[in-house]
Structure 1
Amino acid sequence: MNIIEVNNLTKTYGEARGISDVSFTVEQGEIFGFIGPNGAGKSTTLRTLLSLIHPTSGSATIFGKDIIKDAPDIKKDIGYLPSEVFYYDHMKVKDLLKYSASFYKKDCSKRIKELVEIMELDVNRKIDDLSLGNKKKVGIVQGLLHEPKLIILDEPTSGLDPLMQHKFFDLLEEENKKGATILFSSHILSEVQRLCDRVAIIKEGKIIKLEKISTLNDDHFKKIHIETSHPIEHNYLRMEGVTDLVVDQHKVSFLFKGDVNAILKQIAAISITNISVVEPDLEEIFMHFYEKEEV
């Protein structure tokens, strides 16, 4: 069963680009990633799904209901965390959460207490006294306090320190085990790899690839930087799997896709003073999808 169905969803802002003919589905119980560089159209898509803005054309359903006509009914079972959270500054955290819980016809007090403990949130502080990270924690608790069937998250970890990010991911996985479907946008590949079953890749407002995360991992690139004691020839590392090769005297960088042993064997013959092998930025990987798409 599909919890979300998006069909040719388009949103334009005059001559400015929004999203164009976006189509995808999210299955019940799935963790679905919506990924792309900043400005690719992720937030516009999510805000349109939530009927915070209306589409120019196309349609979408959530729980089998139309996102525009049935918006009030749909929102009862959705938890939403925007990329940036804004609150009544002079309100205390506990009062804000109590106010948020009042919109749902259920007692959320026990769940609020659980979430506050997990997120290590001081509910007696005023909103305007909180750091960006603590405001994001408030948003997380607010979005999950009513135990929604569908959780929609827009760049959820911005502002959270690494330890809290880890706790947040654990929390999402627990919600998913209890039956919640999760749709979240990100430009951070490691988040997507850890959590998602499938991903949609968006570029300039258009979906260019729908893929299982296992397949995306199979296509995974490594970013390799090398510093050498002697200059090397530019063509030395031109081999299968090497792209974006940049050679500047003693410094070399490139993307590599394939058997890492093959590239290490080639590198072993060079007099190396330093080497790093890291995950490339998601945008670097996107460039390969984009080039493939444009061929």
Structure 2
Amino acid sequence: MTDATHSAAIPALAQAQSYPVIRLSPEVASSAERWIAVEAPVAIEVNGLGYAVMMASPAGLVEFGTGFVFTEKLVATLDDLIDVTPHEVAQGWLLRIRVAEHCFAAVRERIRHRIADSGCGLCGLENLEQALRPLPMIETAPLAEPSAIFAALAALPAAQMLNRQTGAVHSAALCSAQGAIELAREDVGRHNAFDKLIGAALLSGRAMDRGFVLLSSRCSYELVEKAAIAGVTMLVTISAPTSLAVERSKACGLTLVSLARADNVLVLNDPHGLFTTTIPAADEMTAAK
């Protein structure tokens, strides 16, 4: 991708707006101000063709577009992406993306199967074969120790600046093998936050297979798919997964951890035995009694 793409990045935008509210308690009502997360429609255009309309936080749109075309498998490498340019329009934002000509057949094929726009991740895909696309197998074992998950959970609030202000956005964080947060992105949509994180990693040349990704949301199957496509070896989510998310993680060999809390986590898929080795054997537990 050329330097022109980076120069097209929009300046820092207000991601929250202050609104007058009435704070009501059983005893009294009072006037107050509340910061509300900004949500805006972002129309994505690829090589001149309308591709999707997503509801998103209107910041980091170059990163968002980069991650979006990558996880949609419209491009295979950053070299296939020519330009990402956001434009503010009356109704919201227009994200104009140009990809290499040899990638355009994939764009046309995906558009052919779209019948509606949706925030669920299917985006109007016509059939199940298109929805449950083949995923790359993850052969590499995660490098992170189990303790790194708890370190990242403790560090995440400091990286959630917009969420601290509004309490209404999702976060996606790239964490080191020791649990340090290396990159974090926020958005009103959990898919968008993850796409922004993937885009930021691509643009900065950061590998996503060294540590793990921590998401503040529930784990739906399309987040597992994005992780697999981006080369993530372990995905950790704060809320619960769906059954399809678990099955897709098993199909592609992604280590999946959900319901991550400060005191315990739930391991749904552990293909490399990262966690089972930490559980005492039955005879050891008997001997300890």
Does the pair score TM above 0.5? no
User: TM-score, normalization: structure 1?
Assistant: 0.24
User: TM-score, normalization: structure 2?
Assistant: 0.24
